[in-house]
Amino acid sequence: MSPRKNGKWLVKASHLDTEKSAAVREISEKLGLCRPTAQLLYNRGCESVETASDFLMKKTEQLHDPFLMKDMEKAGRHILETAEKGKKIVIYGDYDVDGVTSVSILYMYLESMGANVGYYIPSRLGEGYGMSETSLKKLASEGCGLIITVDTGITSFEEAGIIGELGMELIVTDHHECHNELPHAFAVVNPKQPDCPYPFKELAGVGVVYKLISALEMLRFPGDGMYECIKRVSDKYIDLVAIGTVADVMPLRDENRLIVERGLRIIENSPRVSLKALLSAATGETKTPQKRKITSGFIGYTVAPRINAAGRIRSASIAVDLFLSEDEARASELAHELCEINKQRQIEENKIIEQAFEKIDAEHDFENDPVIVLSDESWHHGIIGIVASRITEKYSRPCILISFDDVGDGSGETEESDTDIGKGSGRSIKGMNLVDALTHCGDLLIKYGGHELAAGLSIERGRLREFKQRINDYARGCFDSAQPVAAVEAECELVPEDVTMTQAAELYKLEPYGVSNPVPVFVMFDMTVSSVTSVGGGKHTKLILSRGSLVVTAMYFRRTPAELDIFEKDSVDVMFNLDINEYHPEAKCVQFVVKDLRLSEKAREYEEAERRLYADINEGKFNPQSVTSEEAATIVPARRDFVAVYKLIEKELHRRDQEPGKDSEGSTFSIRTLSKLLENAGCPMRYVKLKYIIRSFQELNILSIDETEPETETYRFKYVYVKNKADLDKSNILRRLKALFNRNY
């Protein structure tokens, strides 16, 4: 009966609201849509049939003139002049998906027009983010005349000066937040420049490069018109632009919505050789990959991680080489290599996650510090960003992980110094702009940059303590308390009749999903749990839920049954994505992908009433004369109740001791878990009685019992050798309880 650790739940529209809304009803009827789909459109600002139709047909979005972007024409003309003179152009990119796709499409375009072009992506481990003096000297020695940055460069102030000193020129294309000054370059193309008139500011780095290529095409073929030039560029490159845009979590509105929609359809219907090989390797299909529905979710969770893995733990050039390859055999070889690298990344990620969780338990002050800041010498620089995301997801608070280079001398000992450089990666939640927070601490950092919810940094070890203090001071001004809670929001409530294949299939009409057009989250109340099983090697949970005639499978990823503390016959509320399980194409079915789960209101009220009763009895606020003898017997434990609980715990301890790799630290159970185990054993027992039994066991030292998580009332039980039979009459707790009820037990 533990108080469950749920975030705040918000529901935009109840089922009754949807039924009563005339606008929703009209959209549904006129466009032939299920009522929940009409509600989703309404939630997105489509309050009439016309605006809803425009949203579905993408009539209101348009591609803007690339020359509206500051310095675009200047940059384009100079690139063409440099190419015509035969000077070497080097594309300098980032090692993530956005950077890899940016490098790939610009390289392919410049090569197609005969330019002398190369590319350079720094090693994440050896060089880190952005340009370095060493790499620039290397490029100069190789005869580079012009460096074009993609997805990086907007904060490269010193490096820009070095480029000039080395006799090279610089054009910056980027989409990250600009500081007060800009690097000294021939041209700076970034829609986020304060004086840039470009109407859409949320392009990915690859989106900015896409606009640059479109501008180059228009300059080369001025008589063809803007849209004809853009169409040619789109036909060749927009699939990779879509992948980079989705992977960098850009808002899918305005131009981005058109880019991703068009790109996904090309990947789905006629993928380039490299993507066909990657799809085949990622899905395990050894023959021609089956045609599948390509969604932004598939890109984000299946394609992007494999591209990202190369730059995280090996070399991003492997991914670039894949995209540049037109040979099927070579593409297949590189695609499988990316998948193997991704497996290595997953292993390393899981190791770091376990270590980070241990550090959080040991080090983090949840009462006072809103931001989790951790550091370690052994963590892989390329993995900590993913782990930071997982921690932010689990604890609903910003997280920054910092990895210092192992400075050991080979003897196994490390020699720490205040001047050691740590590279960090952070994730945030709504309410705290991470770049603004880092700017507040800017004098403590070597460099930093990124977006509102994700950023990177470099810092000296000696400044870490002050950084942790200062960023938490800043964060306290962003949140109402030291314990920020990320709200979980559902777009609308569903009832059993809404859960159909037709409704699930209709959701594809609102694609592509992403920031500003999120995957719809629904809620259904008062569902009954029919079964709870662990899957995926114990990492995930599969539930069978029912309500009325509806019986549905619900998958809760990255949560174990023990963490959920939910059992058969429980009544629960569920927040979920509505999905179509296509694992067996001949037997497709609707399933829930759970986002959050909690006991239903009635169940929560019952458990809260039990906790209040227990508190009232202890505080002397309870009148024992208000209950009958039968009711009192459900509160005051008899000897047979102690025996039943002891035998159950003894049985569970023995069973768990037999599990492989089990140590001697005892076993943990929430009081809710014990209650359910007793019920399943035919000995149902209410919370109050069970609580008093546990306290009496502690008092008499019948078992070693430590409360490990007071918030969830979770205890660790261990055997205690007792020579003689326990005398329950020696329990002061039990004597006081019996005296209160004045009964002869």
- pLDDT, residue 412, reads 44
Confidence tier at 263 by pLDDT (50, 70, 90): very high
The pLDDT of residue 361 is 87
Per-chain mean pLDDT for the chain: 90
Alpha carbons 373 and 463: distance in angstroms, whole number: 13
State residue 744's pLDDT score: 43
Q: Judge contact between 576 and 522, C-beta under 8 A.
A: yes
Q: Does a cis peptide bond (omega within 30 degrees of 0) precede residue 518?
A: no
Q: Is the pLDDT of residue 124 over 60?
A: yes
CA distance 355 to 11: 36
Q: How far apart are CA 282 and CA 299, in angstroms?
A: 11
Range with the largest mean pLDDT of 71-85, 115-129, 340-354, 417-431: 71-85
Global pTM exceeds 0.85: no
The per-residue pLDDT for range 628-677, each reduced to its tens digit, is: 889 999 999 999 999 999 999 988 888 877 666 555 567 888 999 999 99
Q: For residue 403, count other CB atoms closer than 10 A to its CB.
A: 22
Give exposure, 308-345, as e/b (b: 16+ Cβ within 10 Å).
Answer: bbbbbbbbbbbbbbbbbbeeeebbbebbebbbebbeeb
pLDDT digits (tens, 9 = 90+) for 390-415: 899 888 889 999 998 654 444 444 56
Could you tell me the pLDDT band of residue 419, with boundaries at 50, 70 and 90?
confident
Dihedral pair phi/psi, residue 113, rounded to 5°: -95, 10
DSSP 187-215: EEE-TTSTT---S-----HHHHHHHHHHH
Going by pLDDT thresholds of 50, 70 and 90, the confidence category of residue 64 is very high
User: Residue type for 624, please?
Assistant: P
> Checking DSSP bridges between strand 169-173 and strand 187-189, what pairing results, if any?
parallel
Of 359, 386, 383, residue with least CA distance to 373: 359
Q: What is the pLDDT of residues 553-565, one digit of tens each?
A: 999 998 899 889 9
**DSSP code at position 223:** G
Spatial separation of the C-alpha atoms in residues 191 and 71, rounded to whole Å: 10
Judged against a pLDDT cut of 50, whether residue 2 lies above it is answered with no
Instruction: Please write the tens of the pLDDT for every residue from 577-615.
Output: 999 987 766 678 999 999 999 999 999 999 999 999 999
| Cα–Cα distance measured from residue 62 to residue 727, given in angstroms and rounded to the nearest whole number | 81
